[in-house]
Each structure stands twice: as C-alpha cells, then as structure tokens.
Amino acid sequence: MHNHYSQELASLKKNIQLMAELVDTQLELAFQALQSGNQDLCQFVRSRDCEIDAYDNLIQAQCENILALFQPVAGDLRFVVAALMINNQLERCGDIAVNIVQRVQKTIADRPLLQDAGLLQLGEEAHRMTGDAIRAFIEGNLELAQSVRDRDDQVDDHCREIFAHLIERMKNEPRLVEPGAHGIVLSRHLERLADHATNIAENVIFLVEARIVAHQQP
C-alpha cells in the first residue's frame, strides 16, 4: 500500500510539473505572437489548448483519488491541496494564452496602437511573473514566490495607465474605437494573468510554509 501511495504522489508531481511546463510554453508562444503578429503562432497556440485541458482533468482525478484512497496528512495533504489549486490556476493561464492570440488576430492591422499604449511591456511584466511563479512552484522557492506577489500592484498600475491612454486615443480618433476596445480587453487578460501568477505564488507559500497569505497585502 505504501509503495502504491508513493507512486501516486510521484505521478501527480510529475504531471503537474509537465502541465506547468506546457502552460509556460503556451504563454511564451502567445507573447511571441503578440510581439510579432505571427498568425501561424496564433493558430498553433489555439490548437494546443486541448492538451492543457486534458492535463487539468487528469490532475484533478489524481488528486481526488489520492484524497479518497490514502487520506494523506501533514505535508502530503498540503501538497495535494496545493496541487488542486495550482492546477486550476494553470488551466486558466492556458485559457489566457488563447485569449491573447485571439486579440492578436483581431488587431493585426493596429499593432502601432497596442505598442504606443504599452501593451507589449505589460505583457512582458505579466509573462515574467507567470514564469517566475511556475519556477517557484517547481523549485519550492519561497523568495521567488514572494517577489511575484510584490510585483502584482505594479501590473495593476500599468493596466490603469493603458486604459486611460486608450480611452483618450479613442475619444480623439473615432476610427480607433474598435481596436482600442480590443486593446482594453487584452490589457484585462494580461492583468488577470498576473493575478493567476500571484495566486500560484501564494499557493507555493502555503505548500512550503503551511501559511495562508491569500488576500493579505504583500
């Protein structure tokens, strides 16, 4: 029984790490598409979303089986609970990768507007946060997890600046209303991505230190 339990935990750890790496790759490709406007990359990202969904279902089933069959305690229980929560955040990050490329496809002729508004820089900030959160989880790195939490307010401030910039452009140039609206939606996706990265980082702190920091100021 003990060997089977250890194997199930090892399999769960492997699968959630594989999912994290897949999501990280999806986001990398999505941001490459955002920077370049490459339509083939957009289509490729959309086509791989089903792989993330499959991992989501697999990991959720594994967590439920471990909880039901083995009733883990202490550190193992924290890991399974954290795996459930992080799995959910990763799946949503994968969805945001698809949302990003969808906006890229709709704004291919308006890339200068997105660049002037600072959306590429916002994307870089959110992407770094997500990559660091994933690495903090894989490595159990508390310092890196805390640094992700500390950066969330910066992304929120940047998002508000972009919103104000785009609204002003749309007021002055009515032809920019549609692409500006897409830009605002894109900025919200990027802000939400940073929120998911923060949630992953908070789950890492819970996993390593058995300390709940969600909804607390960094």
Tens digits of per-residue pLDDT, 90-123? 999 999 999 999 998 888 888 888 889 999 999 9
Tokens of 107: 């704004």
Separation between Cα atoms, residue 87 and residue 165, nearest integer Å = 35
The yes-or-no verdict on residue 125 having pLDDT over 80 is yes
Tens digits of per-residue pLDDT, 172-200? 999 999 999 999 999 999 999 999 999 99
Dihedral Cα 170, 190, 44, 21, nearest 10 deg: 170
Buried b (16+ CB within 10 A) or exposed e, 109-144: ebbebbeebbbbebbebbbebbbbbbbbbeeebbeb
Q: Does the predicted model carry a pTM greater than 0.75?
A: yes
List Cα–Cα distances, 71 to 5, 16, 111, 182, in angstroms.
10, 20, 53, 47
Give the pLDDT mean for 12-17. Answer: 91
Tokens of 25: 């790759």
Confidence at 78, pLDDT banded by 50, 70, 90: confident
Type of residue found at 106: K
Confidence at 70, pLDDT banded by 50, 70, 90: confident
| CATH class of the domain whose range is 2-209 | mainly alpha
Domain parsing of the chain, residue ranges: 2-209
Place of tokens 């549609």: 178
19 closest CA partner among 94, 74, 69, 80: 94
